[in-house]
Each structure stands twice: as C-alpha cells, then as structure tokens.
Structure 1
C-alpha cells in the first residue's frame, strides 16, 4: 500500500503504511506519531521516544484510524480511470 493523505478538521496528515496494521503519521510535514490497529475498533499510539504502546484512548488516533480503514476499503481512483479508458 502506498502512502496517502488524510484531512481532519482542516489538518493534513500523511499516512505511511508500515505493515502489520501499523502506520506512521506525519503532520505538517514532520513525523507526528505511529499508530496500530488494536483488537476491535480501537487504535493504539506508540510513544515517540521508546516505541512502547500507549493504551489510553486518544480521539485523534481513533479518528485517524477510522479514516485509514475507510481509505483502505475504497478502490483506487487511478485504476477506475484506467478501466474506463480501456473500454
């Protein structure tokens, strides 16, 4: 999966998939946090210095996670355009 951009409340985030449902998030062009999908609908963020998971509920992290899930479920637009052009 290629990196992609998301927006929440007029804030732009760049999302870089790392594998194993883990994503590095950049905010305003700087590395911001790393998150991972937990069991169920919760997302966990990792401490920036130690890399250990922080299990407290974070609304921003969960919002990003929901958008990541929605993005993964959408077909890529470029493929749709290529398909239409070929037919």
Structure 2
C-alpha cells in the first residue's frame, strides 16, 4: 500500500514539473489548467493506411509545440513522421 502511494506521488510530482517547464517555455502566458486541457485535447485518428489526422489545434497547442520544437501545425502526418518526432523528443 505504501509503495503505491509513493508511486502515485512521484507520478503527480513529475506531471507537475512537466507542466511548470512547459509554462516557463511558453513565457508563462497560459495557466497550468489551460495547458493540461490543451494537451488532453490533442488527438489523432487513422485517416488512411499510413496517414494520421490530428483533429485539434489552438493557439495554446501552437505555443507548446513551438516551445518544445514540435510542429503541431501539420494536420496530417505519416506514421514514420510521428515516430521521428517521438524519437527526437527523447534526445
């Protein structure tokens, strides 16, 4: 039981740190609540065999993408492009 509480606390703490970093990198223009809401809204769906449609975009998502070096302005991406973005974010 105690280890689960510790794991939950660590997860929440890491999430808070990530939100604070995003807030700082975007010039503190947006509240943590707006950043979380925006990130929760970003999604994609498989449109064709290898093409994915990103169906949410806002000025906040554009600011987050710009701050993190991720281009959220493209509506459609191939699977390999998504893999490349994820690989770059891990560096």
**TM-score, structure 2 length as denominator?**
0.28
More strand by share: 1
Structure ranking higher on relative contact order (CA contacts 8 Å, 6+ apart) = 2
